[in-house]
Amino acid sequence: MRILTVGGGGREHAAVEALYRSGAEIYSVMKNANPGIMRRAKVYKLVDERQIDDICEFAIEHDVGWAFIGPEAPLEIGLVDALENIGVKCAAPTKAAARIETSKAFMRNIMSRYNIAGNLSFAAFKTANETEKYLMTLKTEIVVKPTGLTGGKGVKVQGEHLNCHEETMAYVREVLSGKGGEEGVIIEEKLVGEEFTQMIFVDGKRTVPMPLVQDHKRAYEGDIGPNTGGMGSYSDADHLLPFVPEEERNKALGILRSIVDALNEEGCPYHGPMYGQFMLTKDGPKLIEINARFGDPEAMNVLPILASDFFAIIKEMATGKLKEDAVRFDNLATVCKYVVPVGYGTESESGHEIFVDEERIRECGAEIFYANVSEKDGKLYTGASRSVGIVGIGETIEEAEQVCEAALTFVEGESICVRHDIGKRDVIQKKIDRLKNLLS
Ligand code: AMP
Ligand code: GLY
């Protein structure tokens, strides 16, 4: 059975490996020559993931019946609508349903209109004057976000990135002058707590949860620095997190299920993986954002321990036939650390050669997922985004972290760096203690 995969990052490589394990025949489009995807694909084509016509042509040429779409950019411009029109069934949302990610204002308004728990105070503006007037009325700290897509990098937090009113207004003006597209800027209440990711499979109506994951968005160790797409992530063997009890997890799942129901009511049912990013606060889980796809790196945590047939799940999501009790994940912990180019998060140094000793990495018991690298004449070069994800797997987070670190010694290059603190025992203990203090 043939499937089209769209995207050339670490998330897509992890999805392609899971599809390959399911016996799918893979046809891939991506903009970079990702060697992990290239080797699993029967046919691949290097094409920008927003070239809808080229992608549809490729799907017709190779007579593919199904599609998996990794990144958000093609969802925003209606790739799913176009593929469904030519008879390709997609485990990904239509342009209308993808608005839960592509328009933060749409997502927050849905939550308000349907009275969904976990919302926070926010307001969206199109001019600096209106924004400033609103800011003057607030007594609590805020977060500034462009309304549209920014690859996770456009969010600035008061007290961290923004330290006075002038800095806040300067950033508001920067966003309004282009970063947020036409829609403008969102001012949100700043949440205090610990972040976690809950992803679910959705078939239009039914949902199946995946293990919880914690990503690390800040560029530097100690969770400081600019926001990035995510520097690395971990998950635990019981599919919860050391600081998230089952009761709080269930509240997060309830929020996501209400969003799925609301999208049905709105006439745009959601198919595909859905990603909820939450902050566990003293008032329970609050929603930071929804993504209309797998998280990256989070997909690299959950897909390697998916014990069920991924291609079957894709087909069930696309056709409304998800079996709620049939999806199994192994009870193993995972730690993923991304090797990124120096400067990632601000200005990346790209185009450097990177050396990956796959055999030694596998001997350590780790998985390797190629991301924004390109193969040329047998050599591998970094792009501006994240380069290679290394995933350690073990009985405990500690064991998985050690496997990951051992494997990372076999990735070398001149201009690369890694957040080594991700998944370390003392770092996680600090998070548990901090949350305990907050909740007491
Ligand atoms: P996003 O791109 O919306 O996922 O945001 C990137 C990062 O900014 C998140 O992972 C949080 O660390 C931070 N952030 C976003 N929104 C908020 C908020 N309302 N309160 C506190 N931190 C936030
Ligand atoms: N890990 C965050 C994202 O995929 O947007």
Tens of pLDDT along 48-101? 999 999 999 999 999 999 999 999 999 999 999 999 999 999 999 999 999 999
pLDDT-derived band at 149 (thresholds 50, 70, 90) equals confident
pLDDT digits (tens, 9 = 90+) for 197-255: 999 999 999 999 999 999 999 999 999 998 899 999 999 999 999 999 999 999 999 99
Distance CA 319, CA 203 (A): 7
CB of residue 117 inside a 6 A radius of ligand 1? no
Model confidence, pTM: 0.94
Question: What is the whole-number distance in angstroms between the Cα of residue 322 and the centre of ligand 2?
Answer: 24
**Is 104 inside any structural domain?**
no
What proportion of the chain, given as a percentage, has pLDDT over 70?
98
Co-location of 179 and 215 in the same domain: no
Residue 305 and residue 208 share a domain = yes
For atom 3 of ligand 2, the residue with the nearest CA is 295
Q: What CA–CA distances, in Å, run from 262 to 111, 257, 274, 311?
A: 8, 9, 14, 27
> Is 338 within a domain?
yes
Is 324 exposed, middle or buried, given 0-12, 13-18 or 19+ CB atoms closer than 10 A?
A: exposed
Residues 41 and 152 in one domain: no
278 with 264, same domain: the answer is yes
Ligand 2: which residues within 6 Å by Cβ? 152, 215, 229-230, 291, 295-296, 298
Helix (H, G, I), strand (E, B), or coil: what is residue 123? strand
Give the burial class of 246: count Cβ atoms within 10 A of its Cβ; 0-12 exposed, 13-18 middle, 19 or more buried: exposed
Closest ligand 1 atom number to CA of residue 217: 10
Pocket test for ligand 1, best of 111, 156, 157 (most atoms within 8 A of CB): 157
pLDDT over 90 at 170, yes or no: yes
Asked if residue 180 is part of any domain, the answer here is yes
Mutate to test the pocket of ligand 2, among 107, 214, 227, 291 (most ligand atoms within 8 A of CB): 291
- CA 407 to centroid of ligand 1, rounded, Å: 30
Both 140 and 264 in one domain: the answer is no
Cβ neighbours for 331, distance < 8 A, ≥ 6 positions apart: 237, 238, 239
Mean pLDDT of the residues in the chain: 95
Q: How confident is the model at residue 180 (pLDDT cuts 50, 70, 90)?
A: very low
Please check the confidence at residue 179 and state whether its pLDDT lies above 70: no
Confidence grade of residue 273 (pLDDT, cut at 50, 70, 90): very high
Same domain as 215, residue 174? no
If asked whether residues 151 and 43 sit together in one domain, one would say: no
Q: What ranges make up the beta strands (E) of 7-159?
A: 25-30, 43-46, 66-69, 89-90, 122-125, 142-146, 156-157
Residue 398 falls inside a structural domain: yes
The predicted model gives 289-299 an average pLDDT of: 97
Instruction: Please name the residues in contact with 74: beta carbons below 8 A apart, sequence gap of 6 or more.
Output: 6, 49, 50, 52, 55
Is residue 209 within 8 A of residue 324, CB to CB? The reply is no
Q: Is residue 432 part of a domain?
A: no
- Looking at residue 440, its pLDDT comes to 80
Is residue 352 lining ligand 1, measured as CB closer than 6 Å? no
Residues 287 and 371 in one domain: yes
CATH of the domain at 368: 3.30.470.20
Compute the distance from residue 278 Cα to the ligand 1 centre, in Å. Answer: 9
Three-class DSSP category at 9: coil
Last residue of a domain, one of 189, 211, 226: 189
Ligand 1 lined by 225 (C-beta under 6 Å): no
Residues 204, 181 share a domain = no
Q: Express each pLDDT in 298-342 by its tens digit.
A: 999 999 999 999 999 999 999 999 998 889 999 999 999 999 999
Q: What pLDDT score does 160 carry?
A: 87
Instruction: Using alpha carbons, list the distances in angstroms from residue 40 to 26, 91, 260, 279.
Output: 7, 20, 33, 37
Please give the tally of structural domains in the chain.
3
CATH classification of the domain holding 170 = 3.30.1490.20
- Residue owning the nearest CA to atom 2 of ligand 1: 152
Cα 407 to Cα 234: distance, rounded to the nearest angstrom: 16
110: in domain = no
At 306 the pLDDT is 98
Q: In this structure, are 294 and 262 located in the same domain? A: yes
- Between the CA of 137 and the centroid of ligand 2 the distance, in Å, is 32
Tell me, yes or no, whether 223 lies in a domain. Answer: yes
Residue among 2, 72, 75 at smallest CA distance from 41? 2
Name the residue range of residue 79's domain. 2-92
Confidence of residue 147 (pLDDT cuts 50, 70, 90): confident
Residue at a domain's end among 76, 92, 108: 92
Lowest mean pLDDT: which of 169-178, 197-206, 363-372, 401-410? 169-178
What's the 281 CA to ligand 1 centre distance in angstroms? 13
Residue 66 pLDDT: 98
Q: Which of 141, 164, 189 is the last residue of a domain?
A: 189
Percent of the chain topping pLDDT 90 = 87
User: Residue 152 pLDDT > 90, yes or no?
Assistant: no
**Domain-located, residue 305:** yes
pLDDT band at 183 (very low <50, low <70, confident <90, very high): low
pLDDT value of residue 181: 53
CATH of the domain at 85: 3.40.50.20
Beta bridge partners of 202: 207, 272
Whether residue 359 is found in the same domain as residue 251: yes
386/413 same-domain check:
yes
